Chains A and B, each alone.
Chain A
Amino acid sequence: MTTDELTIKSIRYRKKLLRYIKQAKAGHTGGDLSCLDILNVLYHRVLNVSPETFDDPGRDRYIQSKGHSVEALYVVLADRGFFSESELETLCRYGSHYVGHPTRKVRGIEQNTGALGHGLAFSVGAALAGKMDDATYRVYTLLGDGELAEGSNWESMMAAAHYRLDNLTAIIDRNTLQITGPTHEVCDLEPLEDKLQAFGWSVRTVDGHDVAALSRLLDAVPFEGDKPNAVIARTVKGKGISFMENDPTWHHRVPDDEQYERAQQELDALLAEVTS
Chain B
Amino acid sequence: MSFAAGKELGRANLEVFSETLVSLARENRNVIAVTSDSRGSGKLTPFAAALPDQLVEVGIAEQNLVGVAAGLASAGKIVFAVSPASFLTARALEQIKNDVCYSDQPVKLIGISAGVSYGALGSTHHSTHDLAALRAMDNLTIIVPADNFEAAEAVRTAAGMSHPVYIRFGKRPLYHLHQPSTTFEPGKALLVRDGTDVAFIATGETVYPALMAAAELEKDGLTCRVVSMHTVKPLDVDAVISAATDCRAVLTVEEHSVFGGLGEACAAVLMQAGIPTPFKIVGFPDEYMVTGSQLEIFDHYGISAGKLAQSVQVLLKADTGRSKANRLT
Select one of A112, A128, A159 contacting B98, CB under 8 A.
A112
The A88-127 residues at the B interface (CB cut-off 8 A) are: 103-104, 110-115, 117-118, 120-127
Q: Which residue of B lies closest to A119 (CB)?
A: B67
Select one of A57, A112, A127, A152 contacting B71, CB under 8 A.
A127
Chain B CB within 10 A, most for which of A113, A115, A125, A156: A125
Chain A CB within 10 A, most for which of B63, B73, B76: B63
Distance in Å from the Cβ of B62 to the closest Cβ of chain A?
9
The B16-62 residues at the A interface (CB cut-off 8 A) are: 32, 53, 56, 58-59, 61
Per-residue CB proximity of B183-200 to A under 8 Å, as 1/0?
A: 000000000000000000
CA distance A262 to B69 in the complex (A): 47
Given A118-B95, A152-B64, answer yes or no on A159-B71 (Cβ-Cβ < 8 Å). Answer: no
Select one of A112, A121, A127 contacting B64, CB under 8 A.
A121
The A121-168 residues at the B interface (CB cut-off 8 A) are: 121-130, 132-133, 151-152, 155-156, 158-159, 162
Contact B72 A128 (CB under 8 A): yes
Per-residue CB proximity of A64-87 to B under 8 Å, as 1/0?
A: 000000000000000000000000
Q: Does B74 contact A (CB under 8 A)?
A: yes
On chain A, the residues within 8 Å of B77 by CB distance are: 129, 132
Q: Does B94 contact A (CB under 8 A)?
A: yes
CA distance A114 to B98 in the complex (A): 9
Interface of A is mostly: helix
Distance in Å from the Cβ of B71 to the closest Cβ of chain A?
2
Given A57-B75, A129-B76, A152-B63, answer yes or no on A118-B68 (Cβ-Cβ < 8 Å). Answer: no
On chain A, the residues within 8 Å of B76 by CB distance are: 57, 129
Contact B74 A122 (CB under 8 A): yes
Distance in Å from the Cβ of A276 to the closest Cβ of chain B?
45
Number of A-B residue pairs having CB atoms within 8 Å of each other in the complex? 99
Interface of B is mostly: helix
On chain B, the residues within 8 Å of A162 by CB distance are: 59
CA distance A112 to B97 in the complex (A): 10
Q: Does B104 contact A (CB under 8 A)?
A: yes
Chain B CB within 10 A, most for which of A57, A122, A156: A122
CA distance A159 to B77 in the complex (A): 18
Contact B72 A155 (CB under 8 A): no
CA distance A56 to B58 in the complex (A): 27
Contact B68 A128 (CB under 8 A): yes
Contact A111 B103 (CB under 8 A): yes
CA distance A118 to B98 in the complex (A): 8
Q: Does B3 contact A (CB under 8 A)?
A: no
Contact B67 A124 (CB under 8 A): yes
Chain A CB within 10 A, most for which of B32, B59, B103: B103
Q: Does B66 contact A (CB under 8 A)?
A: yes
Contact A104 B103 (CB under 8 A): yes
On chain A, the residues within 8 Å of B105 by CB distance are: 111
Q: Which residue of A lies closest to B56 (CB)?
A: A128
User: What are 23 A-B residue pairs whose CB atoms fall within 8 Å in the complex?
Assistant: A104-B103, A111-B103, A112-B103, A114-B98, A115-B98, A120-B67, A121-B68, A122-B68, A122-B71, A122-B74, A122-B99, A124-B67, A125-B70, A126-B71, A126-B74, A128-B56, A129-B75, A129-B76, A132-B53, A132-B77, A133-B75, A155-B61, A159-B64
